[in-house]
Structures are given as C-alpha cells and as structure tokens.
A and B are shown apart, each in its own frame.
Chain A
Amino acid sequence: MAESPFKADIERVEKEYSEKMTPGAIVYLPGSSVINKTGSWRVFMPEFHKDKCVRCYLCYVYCPEPAIYLDEENYPVFDYDYCKGCGVCANECPTKAIVMVREKK
C-alpha cells in the first residue's frame, strides 16, 4: 500500500507545530492543516470496488481535499483521515467502482 502524500508533512508538522505567538499572527508552518483530521466530518464513506476500476484517475483529479492518492498499481487509495465524504469521486466514477455507504461509527 502506497503512503499518503502527506505522511512526511504530518510528521514534520507534529514535530515543529507551535502555538508560539509571533507578532503579526504569522503562520510559519506551511501545510500545517494536515493536523486537522477532517475525516471525522464524514457521514457517508466511499467504498471502493477494485474489480470495476479502470484506473482513469478522475476520482483523484476531482477530490477537493485531496484525500485520494494512487497505490503502486495506480489504483486509488482513500485517505480516511481527511476524506469528508462529499461523494464527488463516486459521482464522477464512470464505472461505478466507488459507492458511497453510510459509515458505521
């Protein structure tokens, strides 16, 4: 399984994150938003059916988070830490390889 493109960033931000008040409210840590695990917002989650996937990458292209990356075989991987469950990927998938299902918490 490929790693999240943000893995290194999460480590970096966790290490360097600081609430030290610098004049001017300057944010010195680019990409520090990765500390917010927005996956907790999700009600519906994308369920992936590999057998139907034609690897067109539209899901990857249209993800507004982005919370979809590609594995070694170029299949999409869903990053549930950040996926808010909007369903754009499922709606755009031409082969219905992604189905939105209500998440059991």
Chain B
Amino acid sequence: MEIPENVKKRLSLPFEENFYAGHTACQGCGAALGLRYVLKAYGKKAIFTIPACCSTIIAGPWPYSAFNAPLFHTAFETTGAVISGIEAALKAKGYKVKGEDGIMVIGWAGDGGTADIGLQALSGFLERGHDGLYIMYDNEAYMNTGIQRSSSTPYGAWTTNTPGGKKHFLERRHKKKVIDIVIAHKIPYAATASVAFPEDFMKKLKKAQKIPGPSFIQLFAPCPTGWRSPTDKSIEIARLAVQTAYFPLFEYENGKYKINMPSTKKEPKPIEEFLKLQGRFKYMSKDDIEVLQKWVLHEWEELKKKAEVFG
C-alpha cells in the first residue's frame, strides 16, 4: 500500500504490517492490537518468545502463523529464561543485539505468565542484565484458561474463581504492582503503556530498543471477553484506565521516574468511569468502589512523589 506523504506526517506509526489478519483473537482484543503495534515497531528483525497465554492461540495453531517474524512458543513460566538463552546464543554467534540495527529479543507474556508463574524467570532475566525486552500484556486475569484471577487482577473484580455470588466472593486483593518489582531490579528502562495510546507505546518501544540491557514494558490490554465489556469499548476503557490514574503511564529510565499521563496537575477522573463500562465490576458495592478509589489515589500519590523526588 502506497502511503501519501501527508498521511505519513500525521501518523508516527509505521505503516508496515507484520502482524497479519486472520488471527484468532476475540473481537476487540487488546493483546492482538498490542502485538500489531510491536510488530510494526520492530518489523521482522525481532525474535518473539511467547509462553502459554492467549497469544499462543492468537499467533495461530500449526500450520498457521499471524507473525511475519520468528516466533518460539514456550512453557508458561519460562519466558524470561528462554529470551536469556536466545540472547546468549545471538551473542555467542556474533550477532548485534538491541540498538538501532540490532536484533530485538522479545518476550511477550500475559499477566499470569509474568506476575505469577513466570516471576522467577523474569527476575533472573532482569537481574542478569540480558539485552532483551520483556513485554507483559496485562489483561488482569488468566484469560486463556477461561478468566481466573491472577495477582494482577484488581480489587472487586469478578472472575470465574472470584465469582461474586451470595457470599460476595470477589477478588479482595489489590492488583500486584509488578512494575515496582521490576524497578527494584534497577534495570535501565521500565515503563507502563496502553493500547489506547499507541504513539506513546511506540516511543517506549523505540527507547527499549536503544537502551542497552534489559527493558520491561507493562502494556494495558483490555479483554472484552474476560472483562464482560462491549467489544467496541476496548480502547475507551484503556483510555479511562489512564485518565482515572488506575493505570498511569510512566517511565523509569536510568533511575529517574517520568509520568507521561494523566496530567499530574489535575485530579484524575473518578474510578467509577472506568468501572461502569465493565461487567466484571458489577458486583461491587459502594464501599467496594470506595476501597478501590482510595487505593488508586494512594498509588497515584506515591508515583507522583517518586517522580518529584527521582524525576
């Protein structure tokens, strides 16, 4: 497809598609959109490792692939270790890894595969300082197995193993701050991103390519199927997650915090605006919402302070 110059100017997104249609993601899938962006950013010169997760299916069963880049499917908890091995092999064979024209070694794992079962391998990858990028696409539950809670599921959410019911058995623990655990490794670059803000995401992907050492991006990726939300609302929900400061976009670069969104000058939007579009929050009482709102604002204040002190 020929792209007119004026369009190219208006869009900082590359037009080349390396993620192909015909994939088997659900309607309105945030993870699929995230993959499309990542494959746009790096073109073919990226090696992907995907553990057990929705993307195993999205990428396609044998003999299909939606990727125009090399892809290795691996076991649930091994993403961090496999990308470490791939990076070591590339270095042993004399390839350039990362940097402008280097090969990108990418782990693409869900929140369960990152925050829960894959946390140890992730920690190893970060601590050893491999030149790679780990992207956690966060849809806040085990979606591929049929919507079970993960440690990244937020307070008050319905899942199939926190099903609400008469006894009001909902998720009662707050979302695990995986990004803080990652930052505790003092890696050169960590960031949060959202499929609702592709240009911001693209910038972060480019930074992750440029900065040597391990990089980590936590990508907010709505799941209409698991969140019981209308398929057309995926982007709107992701945008509201940022605007309510439920999922603020920020970067941690060489020890410095930088908040990208929402504005630190204004009060974030109330959390209800984010919650009301999703069926998974419909069991929450007013008190529940209050608990979540308090937590969101507390975390937001904490992040702002970090950005103030270590900005």
Binding site for B on A (CB under 8 A): 2-3, 5-6, 9, 17-19, 25, 27-38, 41, 55, 57, 61-67, 69-70, 72, 74, 79, 81-82, 84-88, 90-92, 100
List 18 additional contacts besides A32-B65, A79-B21; criterion CB under 8 Å: A3-B1, A9-B20, A17-B63, A29-B65, A30-B65, A31-B68, A33-B21, A33-B60, A34-B22, A35-B22, A37-B22, A38-B22, A57-B7, A62-B235, A66-B19, A86-B27, A90-B232, A91-B232
- The proximity string for B residues 176-203 relative to A, scoring 1 for CB distances below 8 Å and 0 otherwise, is 0000000000000000000000100000
Binding site for A on B (CB under 8 A): 1-4, 6-7, 10-11, 13, 17, 19-25, 27-30, 32-33, 36, 60, 62-69, 198, 224, 230-236
Complex Cα distance A37/B64, Å? Answer: 13
B44 nearest CB neighbor, chain A only: A30
Task: Specify which of B2, B24, B33, B234 is in contact with A36 (CB 8 Å cutoff).
Answer: B24
Closest chain-B Cβ to A30's Cβ sits at a distance in Å of 4
- In the A-B complex, the 6 residue pairs with the smallest Cβ-Cβ separation, listed nearest first, are A87-B232, A86-B27, A33-B22, A86-B28, A82-B21, A33-B66
What's the dominant secondary structure at chain A's contact region? loop
Query: Which residues of chain A come closer than 8 Å to B65, judged between CB atoms?
Result: 27, 29-33
Query: Which residues of chain B come closer than 8 Å to A74, judged between CB atoms?
Result: 4, 6-7
Say whether A82 contacts B17, CB under 8 Å.
no
Task: Specify which of A5, A38, A63, A67 is in contact with B24 (CB 8 Å cutoff).
Answer: A38
Complex Cα distance A27/B60, Å? Answer: 10
Say whether A64 contacts B68, CB under 8 Å.
no
Complex Cα distance A86/B30, Å? Answer: 11
Complex Cα distance A82/B21, Å? Answer: 6
Complex Cα distance A82/B65, Å? Answer: 15
Closest chain-A Cβ to B75's Cβ sits at a distance in Å of 15
Say whether B22 contacts A57, CB under 8 Å.
no
Closest chain-B Cβ to A74's Cβ sits at a distance in Å of 5
With most chain A CB atoms within 10 A of its CB, the pick from B7, B29, B64, B198 is B64
Task: Specify which of B2, B22, B232 is in contact with A100 (CB 8 Å cutoff).
Answer: B232
Complex Cα distance A28/B3, Å? Answer: 29
Query: Which residues of chain A come closer than 8 Å to B4, judged between CB atoms?
Result: 74
Say whether A86 contacts B234, CB under 8 Å.
yes
Task: Specify which of B11, B17, B232 is in contact with A66 (CB 8 Å cutoff).
Answer: B17
Known interface pairs A30-B65, A36-B64; A70-B21 also in contact (CB < 8 Å): no
Complex Cα distance A92/B234, Å? Answer: 10
Known interface pairs A9-B20, A34-B21, A66-B19; A87-B28 also in contact (CB < 8 Å): yes
Complex Cα distance A88/B4, Å? Answer: 25
Query: Which residues of chain A come closer than 8 Å to B67, judged between CB atoms?
Result: 30-31
Say whether A88 contacts B28, CB under 8 Å.
yes
Query: Which residues of chain A come closer than 8 Å to B62, judged between CB atoms?
Result: 25, 27
Complex Cα distance A88/B62, Å? Answer: 29
Complex Cα distance A61/B235, Å? Answer: 11
Known interface pairs A27-B60, A57-B7, A88-B231; A82-B22 also in contact (CB < 8 Å): yes
Known interface pairs A5-B1, A61-B11, A88-B234; A35-B64 also in contact (CB < 8 Å): yes
Known interface pairs A57-B10, A69-B1; A41-B27 also in contact (CB < 8 Å): yes
With most chain A CB atoms within 10 A of its CB, the pick from B20, B36, B231 is B20
Complex Cα distance A41/B29, Å? Answer: 14
Query: Which residues of chain A come closer than 8 Å to B17, judged between CB atoms?
Result: 5-6, 66
- A to B CB contacts below 8 Å, 30 in the list: A5-B1, A5-B17, A6-B20, A25-B62, A27-B65, A29-B63, A30-B20, A30-B65, A30-B67, A30-B69, A31-B67, A33-B23, A35-B22, A36-B22, A36-B64, A37-B22, A57-B10, A61-B13, A61-B198, A63-B33, A64-B28, A66-B17, A70-B3, A86-B231, A86-B232, A86-B234, A88-B231, A88-B232, A90-B232, A91-B236
